[in-house]
Structure 1
Amino acid sequence: MIVADPLLDQITAALEPHGLVPRGGFVFGPGEAAPCLRHDAAARSIVLAGHFGSSIWPHFTRWRQAHSGQPDLLDAWSKAVLTQVADKLGGQAVFPSDKPYLPFQQWAKRAESLSASPLGLLIHPEYGLWQAFRGALLFDRAIGFPAVPLNNHPCDSCIDKPCLHACPVDAFDGTGFAVGRCRGHLAVPEGALCRDGGCLARLACPIGREHAYTPEQQRFHMAAFASA
């Protein structure tokens, strides 16, 4: 029997100074493919770490002032923070950018009962598209997790699907994302509104609008996407 583990409170306390929160987790089942830890044993438990809204932005902004020469600054910050947290708590950190790629989207769906939006991004019933997962913490023992609530998919009751009609170059069709078309638009003067104000399709979603990223954060993400 898995009992409640004070490790969850320790993880929460370690993430909070960075604007991060635990985003659910689970115990890998018998025979289930699980990432290997440094000593080659399979992980037993995983806790995802992420944020809602712009909670990380002031913390990341202070950090990047001293690390401006690094590539992919947000990924570098995530790795610096979560690796430190994992080391402190006896775990191991893994990230969406690690190769071979790990199934982060499937883990996120399982950890928080989330579904994909028509834009392909996972959508949260309260925070909408204004949330993200920065990495995960792996542990070699089973952790007791609270039951995952079953969330209704907010897109099911959205009749108009404004997210699919807001992109000026129709990069979204509900089944895929025309990456090249979007990046091409960002590279020309006509793409200034998207570059400076954020993705218009994402902004059109009515769920969680009050949690939208700050303008500075949106510009950062758009610039990072355009240059990838």
Structure 2
Amino acid sequence: MTLDALDASARKVGLAVRGAFHPSSEDDAPESAQTLVMLGPDEPRFWGIFSTSSEYLDGRPHPLDRWSKRATASLAVPLGGTAVFPYDGPPYAPFLNWAQRSSACWSSPVGLLVHDTAGLFISFRAALALPQRLDLPAPAISPCPTCEDRPCESACPVGALAPGKDYDVPTCVARMQSIDGAACREGCLVRRACPVSKSFGRLPEQSAFHMRAFLGE
């Protein structure tokens, strides 16, 4: 098994490899893990796969989490791996640390994670802890240092996400629930402003789904 082969298998079920690393004893990974692989949606194919799934259509709570567990199991079981999910806990797995260990994610000017190909649209549905030690690609390069306009820094109309400050969740929610927040409810303006995000292919329907979930709708 190679990382490219695993990525090809993941894309068949709507996921994609978004980074990987060889964990050490300090990474709080499953003990058997020789390689930890980060999985995110395969854009733009993901939404068509998920939105026609039984989990999305059955009306039960947490459809995306349930779909993620089924899709990830189809990858983990044949490899003797362990699937880890960011929403299982407490205790919760340190996905933010794992993402930055994968040499494909960094902290952006506004504090959100930024990915070399997904930009600020990066998200993780699961991690695969594999007993095999897979060869890893060369580390990626952060897109932020060469971003001249840095549109993420000023994209939030109420400054809930801005350089040098923590994410102001109450202000963000208040804006989204207001008459003026219609554009925000279609997808975070900061994430959408990132030049890398714009070329990533996430569909507006998916962004709106996540914003509704964020508001508890």
Q: TM-score range by the shorter chain?
A: 0.7 to 0.9
State how 1:18-37 maps to structure 2 within 5 Å.
18-29=13-24, 31-36=25-30
Structure 2 length normalisation: TM-score? Answer: 0.86
SS at 2:199 equivalent = helix
**Cα distance change on mapping 1:217 and 1:150 into 2, 3 Å:** closer
| AA of the residue aligned to 1:34 | D
Return the alpha-carbon distance in structure 2 between the equivalents of residues 7 and 147 of structure 1: 11
Unaligned runs of 5+ in 2: none
Return the alpha-carbon distance in structure 2 between the equivalents of residues 131 and 187 of structure 1: 24
Maintained 8 Å contact 1:23/1:49: yes
Are positions 1:15 and 2:10 aligned together? Answer: yes
Return the alpha-carbon distance in structure 1 between the equivalents of residues 116 and 28 of structure 2: 28
**Cα distance change on mapping 1:193 and 1:28 into 2, 3 Å:** closer
SS at 1:129 equivalent = coil
Unaligned runs of 5+ in 1: 1-5
Return the alpha-carbon distance in structure 2 between the equivalents of residues 218 and 10 of structure 1: 28
**Cα distance change on mapping 1:73 and 1:125 into 2, 3 Å:** same
> Among residues 145, 150, 154, which one is paired with 1:165 in the alignment?
154
Runs of 4+ in structure 1 over 6 Å off? none
SS at 1:154 equivalent = coil
Return the alpha-carbon distance in structure 1 between the equivalents of residues 118 and 35 of structure 2: 26
The CA deviation at 1:91 is: 1.1
SS at 2:126 equivalent = strand
Paired position in structure 2 for 1:154: 143
What is the alpha-carbon root mean square deviation over aligned residues? 2.4
Paired position in structure 2 for 1:103: 94
Percent identity over the alignment is 38
Maintained 8 Å contact 1:166/1:200: yes
Paired position in structure 2 for 1:3: none
Larger Rg: 1
| AA of the residue aligned to 1:32 | E
* The 10-residue stretch of structure 1 (86-95 or 47-56) with the greater mean CA deviation from structure 2: 47-56
Paired position in structure 2 for 1:49: 39
The CA deviation at 1:77 is: 1.1
**Cα distance change on mapping 1:226 and 1:64 into 2, 3 Å:** farther
Structure 1 length normalisation: TM-score? Answer: 0.82
Once the two structures are superposed, what CA deviation does each residue of 1:40-96 show, in whole Å capped at 9, x if it has no partner?
x54333122123532311111111566432222222211121123212321110011
Paired position in structure 2 for 1:222: 211
Once the two structures are superposed, what CA deviation does each residue of 1:87-120 show, in whole Å capped at 9, x if it has no partner?
2321110011121111111111122332111333
Paired position in structure 1 for 2:110: 119
Return the alpha-carbon distance in structure 2 between the equivalents of residues 213 and 150 of structure 1: 21
Paired position in structure 1 for 2:51: 61
| AA of the residue aligned to 2:13 | H
The CA deviation at 1:137 is: 1.0
Maintained 8 Å contact 2:121/2:192: no
The CA deviation at 1:126 is: 3.4
| AA of the residue aligned to 1:25 | A
Return the alpha-carbon distance in structure 1 between the equivalents of residues 193 and 29 of structure 2: 37
Paired position in structure 2 for 1:77: 67
Return the alpha-carbon distance in structure 1 between the equivalents of residues 215 and 151 of structure 2: 23
